[in-house]
Structure 1
Amino acid sequence: MNKKILIVAAHPDDEVLGCFGTVARLIKEGYEAYTLILGEGKTSRDEHRIIENKKDEIEILNTEIQNANDAIGIKKVFVESFADNRFDSVDLLDIIKVISKVKDEVKPDIIFTHYEHDLNIDHQITYKAVVTATRPMSEECVKEIYSFEVLSSTEWNYPLSFSPDVFFDISDTIELKLKSMEKYTSELCQYPHPRSLEGIELNAKYQGMRVGKKHVEAFKSVRVIK
């Protein structure tokens, strides 16, 4: 039976930025991958969260989510609608229950999710909810959890603390990652913003240079049971 991966991301495009080079590689190697996106990703710039005012933008974003995930062969995308950059206004238990429900459906062996000390509050809460939803009891299916970095959040928190200890060579799948990010036209920024195609490739080269490879995605292992 193929191993299964679940990506748990707070916002649309976090999944691409964090681990799509690695997941694309693992799909090519025979893994089955799924994505869960918890937040709607559009209302944080408004003074008040009025979801009706963003209906068209959210519809466009939902199409981009599907297209980006299709680009690397994600089997299914689960999309929730927690308030963007307001996860701290929701009971943590509600987020945990959503993650648990998807986890029970997918039964993943591996989870990729956010780093606990990102600048973004939604990333921090997503990490906490994932760890809670995957407590290492005897019947728990998840055996490996890895935190990824998200450009314009992980490196913008000070003091810097992301210290990766797992490195995936994505030299053969960096183009797939960039192709996926291109699908997020409403989220993509212009260089020198880190959330740009140039920024993504430069970061992959930087992480690769640290371990003698051309392009790499770096992760902090949370729990690995072998």
Structure 2
Amino acid sequence: MKILVVSVHPDDETLGCGGTMLKHLKNNDELYWMIVTKADESIGFSKEFISKRSNQIEKVTKEYGFKKVYTLNYLATKLQTIDFSKLINSVSRVINDIKPEIIYMNNRSDVHTDHQVTAKVLISCTKSFRYPFIKKILMYECISETEMSPPFSENIFIPNVYSDITNFIDKKLEIMNIYESEVQKPPLPRSLDNIKALARYRGASCGVDYAEAFMLVRERF
């Protein structure tokens, strides 16, 4: 089975579905990674940070056993300035190259503008009649983005699919630690304690020790 995991920014994949990807890896599924944005000096990132991020991506790629990584290289925080049709073309090329059966994407209501734009693009360019090979699309939650969305009904993340990651939670946290600049100290949301606490809470919602939660966008079987 071919699986496409979309990260608006590197680390989204681990926060949202790291344990689930490790399950896919154990099942010998083919994992592909699409990274939409990049850090760049023109938007305030240092050469040192950019170099570290590149090394982090290489390490994470090995941990998840990604068969191929697609980097779209749009500037982080600037997606809303890019022509929408250009974004759709970029994403569509990747999808057509892989022909994935399952796509994991960010939640459409995440508070970060880059996340909102990416979700809109993905929903726009995964129409069933154009991409009949796609069997399932799931939106993951990204701690510090998903729960920070305003409390309006159209923005609520309501999980209806759960993945038991009890056997993979420790490895997920280990991989998250690769992104050392993104890992925070409690009580901030991206601390390892709170990432684990969210998995514990999601597990309680579905009767297991630790879980990741998703919203089902579409499924055909």
TM-score by structure 2 length?
0.93
The amino acid across from 1:193 in the alignment is: L
Percent identity over the alignment? Answer: 34
Answer yes or no: is the 8 Å Cα contact 1:8–1:35 preserved in 2.
yes
- In structure 2, distance between residues paired with 1:146 and 1:13: 17
- In structure 2, distance between residues paired with 1:35 and 1:68: 10
Q: In the alignment, which residue of structure 1 is the partner of 2:4?
A: 6
**Residues 147-198 of structure 1: CA deviation (Å, up to 9, x unaligned):** 0000000001120610000000000111221111111112221121111211
The offset of 1:203, in angstroms, is 0.4
Structure 2 residue runs of 5 or longer lacking an equivalent are none
Q: In the alignment, which residue of structure 2 is the partner of 1:133?
A: 125
Deviates more, 1:127-136 or 1:69-78: 69-78
What value does the CA root-mean-square deviation take over the aligned residues? 1.7
Deviates more, 1:99-108 or 1:197-206: 99-108
Answer yes or no: is the 8 Å Cα contact 1:66–1:77 preserved in 2.
no
Give the SS at the match of 2:56: helix
Structure 1 residue runs of 5 or longer lacking an equivalent are 44-48
Residue number among 212, 215, 219 corresponding to 1:220 in the alignment: 215
Give the SS at the match of 2:146: coil
**Residues 110-156 of structure 1: CA deviation (Å, up to 9, x unaligned):** 00001111111111111111112211116532111000000000001
- In structure 2, distance between residues paired with 1:53 and 1:27: 33
Give the SS at the match of 1:23: helix
**Aligned pairs, how many?**
218
- In structure 2, distance between residues paired with 1:109 and 1:153: 26
Structure 2 residue 174 is matched with structure 1 residue 179: yes
Change (3 A) 1:55 1:121: same
Deviates more, 1:129-138 or 1:212-221: 129-138
Change (3 A) 1:139 1:64: closer
**Residues 44-100 of structure 1: CA deviation (Å, up to 9, x unaligned):** xxxxx7158633321210210121231122222222221212211111222212211
Q: In the alignment, which residue of structure 1 is the partner of 2:54?
A: 62
Deviates more, 1:216-225 or 1:127-136: 127-136
Structure 2 residue 25 is matched with structure 1 residue 33: no
Change (3 A) 1:87 1:198: same
Give the SS at the match of 2:166: coil
Residue number among 32, 42, 57 corresponding to 1:50 in the alignment: 42
TM-score by structure 1 length?
0.91
Q: Which runs of 4+ in 1 moved over 2 A?
A: 51-56
Answer yes or no: is the 8 Å Cα contact 1:72–1:176 preserved in 2.
no
- In structure 2, distance between residues paired with 1:197 and 1:139: 37
Give the SS at the match of 1:8: strand
- In structure 2, distance between residues paired with 1:125 and 1:51: 18
Residue number among 181, 185, 190 corresponding to 2:185 in the alignment: 190
How is 1:76-225 mapped onto 2 (pairs within 5 angstroms)? Answer: 76-137=68-129, 139-159=131-151, 161-225=156-220
Answer yes or no: is the 8 Å Cα contact 1:69–1:180 preserved in 2.
no
- In structure 2, distance between residues paired with 1:51 and 1:221: 34
